[in-house]
């Protein structure tokens, strides 16, 4: 891949975004890393520059703010950088009763998971066409395949990403802009989420991966122009079996999984507080708005 091209990654400072950044750097891709302001983003940039000798541009923005998307685009264009890969990874989520949910949290989920991903893709689409063959990776979730209780807003945003990605893939193929969708399950991103998953049921424990294991699958699949990637044989089997089951059995499975996951999460509220991080949430964002990362 020509060394004058850049890969733009949103939600890049921690978790899956960080793993994607390091995986791309290993492949000698120059990087544009976008995330909330914080030392984590600069530490990552320093590490990558030191260990992989690629160019790294850091952009500190909160993509929940619509103007930030435009500011990211304008800044990249002002530097004259050629972007041929866009990894739409930023996102946030939660688990809980809709009636008891925080409206501002729901609003943030929709803005970050749906609006920011859409705006960023639209802004960079002409740039990607100009630098074709080029690639877009959208990060979805297993939650887009299953109606999970207490993950109503998060799952809905990931269903949008699934539909958006599959439609965009068909539309842009003739322009040699290849769109892929990564739908991981739970990812072991920090001490709290590891504890939640370990206290979950057998399925949740065995569907989980470290982000460092998922990142090469994502980039390999993207470069091979795969449509949808679901890491893990068990996850793929679960999707297949789930499509064949009658609705009443599906309800039993999803209700039990969510109940077990919620129980484990509540047990870790004290741990969250002791670590001085946010209220337990379940999403894939790698900025500091999320304390627990999962895609189930």
Average pLDDT over residues 153-175: 95
| pLDDT at 286 exceeding the cut of 90 | no
Q: Band the pLDDT of 292: cuts 50, 70, 90.
A: very low
> Any idea how long the chain is?
296
**pTM, full prediction:** 0.82
Can you give the pLDDT at residue 255?
A: 64
Instruction: Among 66-80, 144-158, 260-274, name the one with the lowest average pLDDT.
Output: 260-274
Fold for the domain defined by 5-274: Rossmann fold (3.40.50)
Average pLDDT along the chain: 82
Q: How far is the C-alpha of 35 from the C-alpha of 287, rounded, in Å?
A: 6
Instruction: Among 59-63, 77-81, 187-191, 225-229, name the one with the lowest average pLDDT.
Output: 187-191
Q: Structural domain boundaries of the chain?
A: 5-274
Average pLDDT over residues 34-61: 96
User: Which comes out higher in pLDDT, residue 222 or 149?
Assistant: 222
At residue 112's C-alpha, the angle toward residues 110 and 118, to 5°, is: 90
Average pLDDT over residues 272-288: 36
Instruction: Among 29-43, 121-135, 170-184, 255-269, name the one with the lowest average pLDDT.
Output: 255-269
Q: Band the pLDDT of 50: cuts 50, 70, 90.
A: very high
Closest CA to 88 of 162, 148, 155: 162
Q: Band the pLDDT of 117: cuts 50, 70, 90.
A: very high
| pLDDT at 291 exceeding the cut of 60 | no
Average pLDDT over residues 204-225: 88
Can you give the pLDDT at residue 279?
A: 31
Can you give the pLDDT at residue 37?
A: 95
Q: How far is the C-alpha of 294 from the C-alpha of 193, rounded, in Å?
A: 8
Q: Give pLDDT tens digits for 5-16.
A: 999 999 999 999
């Amino acid at each position: 891949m020509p060394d004058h091209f850049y890969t733009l990654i949103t939600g890049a400072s921690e978790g899956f975004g960080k793993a994607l950044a390091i995986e791309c750097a290993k492949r000698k891709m120059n990087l544009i890393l976008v995330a909330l302001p914080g030392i984590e983003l600069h530490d990552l940039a320093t590490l990558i520059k030191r260990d992989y000798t690629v160019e790294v541009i850091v952009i500190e923005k909160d993509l929940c703010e619509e103007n930030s998307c435009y500011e990211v685009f304008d800044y990249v264009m002002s530097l004259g950088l050629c972007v041929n890969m866009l990894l739409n990874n930023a996102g946030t989520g939660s688990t809980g009763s809709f009636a008891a949910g925080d409206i501002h949290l729901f609003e943030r989920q929709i803005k970050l998971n749906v609006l920011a991903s859409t705006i960023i893709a639209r802004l960079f689409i002409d740039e990607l066409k100009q630098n074709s063959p080029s690639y877009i990776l959208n990060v979805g979730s297993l939650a887009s395949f299953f109606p999970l209780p207490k993950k109503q807003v998060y799952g809905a945003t990931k269903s949008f990403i699934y539909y958006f990605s599959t439609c965009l893939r068909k539309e842009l193929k003739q322009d040699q802009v290849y769109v892929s969708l990564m739908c991981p399950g739970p990812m072991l991103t920090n001490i709290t989420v590891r504890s939640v998953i370990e206290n979950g049921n057998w399925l949740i424990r065995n569907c989980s991966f470290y982000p460092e294991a998922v990142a090469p699958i994502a980039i390999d699949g993207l470069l091979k122009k795969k449509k949808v990637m679901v890491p893990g044989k068990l996850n793929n089997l679960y999707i297949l079996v789930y499509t064949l089951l009658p609705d009443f059995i599906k309800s039993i499975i999803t209700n039990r999984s969510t109940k077990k996951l919620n129980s484990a999460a509540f047990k870790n509220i004290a741990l969250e507080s002791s670590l001085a991080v946010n209220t337990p949430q379940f999403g894939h964002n790698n900025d500091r708005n999320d304390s627990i990362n999962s895609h189930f």
